[in-house]
A = this chain, B = another copy of it.
Amino acid sequence: MLTINDNFLRLAPSYLFSDIARKVADYRGANPDAQVISMGIGDVSRPLCDASVDAMLKAVEEMRHAHTFHGYGPEQGYAFLRQAIADNDYTARGIDINADEIFISDGAKSDTGNIVDIFAATTKVALTDPVYPVYFDSNIMAGRSRSSIEFMPVNEANGFIPDMPLSEPDIIYLCYPNNPTGTVLTRHQLAAWVDYALEHKSLILFDAAYEAYITSSDIPRSIYEIPGARKCAIEFRSFSKTAGFTGLRCGFTVVPHDVVGYDHHGDKVQLHSLWLRRQTTKFNGASYPVQRAAEAIYTPEGKQQIRQTIHYYLENAATLRLSLIDSGLTVYGGTDSPYLWVKTPKGLSSWDFFELLLHQADVVVTPGVGFGNAGEGYVRLTAFASHENTAIAARRITDLLK
């Protein structure tokens, strides 16, 4: 008799964004004329940059002819892309990461979800609260008990900087610039975490999917800017928000050769070799034309084009932030991040404010409580809409709160 992985039954029955999508669909159904503006799910609105489109068109055309056709590529990704990343995102910034420490994938969501495969189910995990749901759910699916997962609240009281964990966790998930709060860690603050991990032989899973939005000079763009991080951190990156790849699917994960775990004899094992084994067994590489599109963002034209798009979204964030503050709302994030973390007015619950904004302003946001209990009383807004829609949404919210 086939028994299922019962841990799935410990999960909340459905995924946050599906719930929101259903509510929005119901509302649209009942109000077909409503001009609903989505600032909920973190999807982008600007198109792919020309450099990437052109590179991808060329790569697709290559697939038409036998002598330029590309079949199976390396599971770890093509050398051309791994090298471009190493050169531009790391070496050029004085960071010691080599191309063979970079694993190309179909996106950071897959990697942050699948990484649990390489750890013992008995490891203790620490997550922030609120948190990107994938970290928690993937750990539950993997059989980790609720009691071995510590939530570290981030809130106004601690300035959205988690206090050091109490449970001596083996694995610490950090996402900065943070999803959902849009807050950041300074170099000094992140260094404290690296020191903690080195001292406790724990691992930091550092999600840097939003690093391209950092504008302040004291905010590290990679955890490997911090001395010692090569020994205790895996970094996840995404082209989704950096370059509009949400629909193309490409990201990468950095696993330095120096970062180790321990087997049941207490012997060191390189996490690099484990992740390589995981990916070569259960993954078959990212799409070749997509990897060419990703490579193109590291050309001079590509760099300039994606910088413009990020600038565009950061302008949205600034517009939205000022407007919401003018309306009397308390706002976090939005300066080094595409996300704004907005305190609900009058003590409304997250879902009540979500419903209010949907029904009275035709604006979709994400209820903060969907990211964890400590997110109650907040909603997340994204800066990924168009200038026009951002301005309209800001005005509607202002009018509503007058």
Residues of A bordering B, CB below 8 Å: 1-6, 8-9, 11, 14-15, 18, 41, 43-48, 50, 52-53, 56-57, 60-61, 63-66, 68-73, 106-107, 109-110, 113-114, 117-123, 133-134, 137-138, 141, 143, 170-171, 200-203, 244, 246-249, 260-264, 269, 271, 274, 277-278, 280-290, 386
Bound-state CA distance A179–B56 (Å) is 32
CA distance A133 to B282 in the complex (A): 10
Expressed in whole angstroms, the Cα–Cα distance for A271 and B60 within the complex equals 36
Contact among B2, B73, B170 with A202 in the assembled complex (CB-CB below 8 Å): B2
Contact of A48 among B18, B69, B110 (CB under 8 A): B69
- Whether the Cβ atoms of A61 and B66 lie closer than 8 Å is no
A269-B9 in contact (CB<8A) = yes
A141 to B283, CA, bound (A): 14
Q: Does the CB pair B15–A281 fall under 8 Å?
A: yes
Q: A8-B118, A73-B247 are in contact. List 14 more A-B contacts (CB 8 A).
A: A2-B203, A11-B277, A15-B280, A47-B66, A53-B60, A53-B64, A57-B60, A71-B244, A106-B286, A110-B283, A117-B141, A138-B282, A141-B281, A247-B285
Nearest first, the 9 A-B pairs at minimum CB distance are A113-B282, A4-B261, A43-B71, A3-B120, A71-B246, A48-B63, A70-B247, A247-B288, A2-B261
CB nearest neighbor in B for A53: B64
CA distance A107 to B113 in the complex (A): 17
Contact partners of A289 in chain B: CB under 8 A: 56, 60, 248, 289
A-B contact pairs, 11 of them (CB 8 A): A3-B263, A6-B264, A15-B277, A52-B63, A53-B60, A53-B64, A63-B247, A69-B247, A109-B284, A246-B284, A248-B288
Please, which residues of chain B bring their CB within 8 A of the CB of A5? 117-121, 274
From B15, B53, B63, B73, contact of A61 by CB (8 A) = B53
Could you say which residues of chain B place their CB within 8 Å of the CB of A141?
117, 278, 281-282
Q: In the complex, what residue of chain B is closest to A384 when comparing beta carbons? A: B71
Given contact pairs A3-B262, A43-B72, A53-B60, A8 touches B277 in the complex (Cβ within 8 A) = yes
Query: Shortest beta-carbon distance, A384 to chain B, in Å?
Result: 9
Residues on B with C-beta less than 8 A from A50 are 64
The answer to whether B120 and A4 have CB atoms under 8 Å apart is yes
Partner of A1, one of B1, B6, B200, B277: B200
- Cα A278 to Cα B46 in complex, Å, equals 29
CB distance from A220 to the nearest CB of B (A): 22
Question: With a CB–CB cut-off of 8 A, which chain B residues contact A271?
Answer: 4
Contact indicator A119/B282 (Cβ below 8 Å): no
Asked whether A249 lies within 8 Å of B106 as measured between CB atoms, the reply is yes
